[in-house]
Amino acid sequence: MERHRVDRLPVVDEEDRLIGIATRRDLLRVFLRTDDEIRREVTDAVLPRVLSPTGPCAVTVSVRDGVVRLAGRLSDPDAVALAVRSVWRVDGVVGVVNHLTGLTDLTGLTTEAGPGVSPGRRRVP
C-alpha cells in the first residue's frame, strides 16, 4: 500500500459486493498498540465483563510483544474458555497463554481447566 500510495482498499463479500472500505490506519491499528494499552483493556474492560457473573476470582494479566498471559483461579470452569476467547478479540493481541484454572466443588472433586488438563477431567483435590 505504501509503495503504490494506496490509502484505502475496498472490502467485498463472497459475491464481490462492496461492504466497506479499509484504510491503512485500520490495518495497522492492531500493530500500533503498546503492551500497556492491551493489558489495560483486558483488565479494565474485558475481564470484568466476562467474569462478573462467576463471582470472586483472582486473575493476573501480563502482556509482552502482544502476547497476553492469563494466570489465576476462577470460580467457574466455563469462564476460563470465555475469558481466553474474549482476550483473543482485543485489538493488538497476537497470542494468549492460558494459565487459568476453573474450580467447581460440588461433589468433593475438583474440575480443572487449564494448560495440559482437558476440560471435564476430574482430579481429587
79: region left, alpha or beta (phi > 0 left; psi from -120 to 50 alpha): alpha
* Least confident segment among 9-23, 28-42, 79-93, 101-115: 101-115
pLDDT of residue 46: 92
Cell 459475491 sits at which residue? 15
DSSP state of 114: B
User: How many beta carbons lie within 10 A of that of residue 81, not counting itself?
Assistant: 14
Of the pLDDT bands very low, low, confident and very high (cuts 50, 70, 90), residue 104 is low
Checking if the pLDDT of 118 tops 80, the result is no
CA distance 44 to 94: 19
Checking if the pLDDT of 59 tops 50, the result is yes
Q: Which of 63, 71, 82 is nearest to 115 (CA)?
A: 71
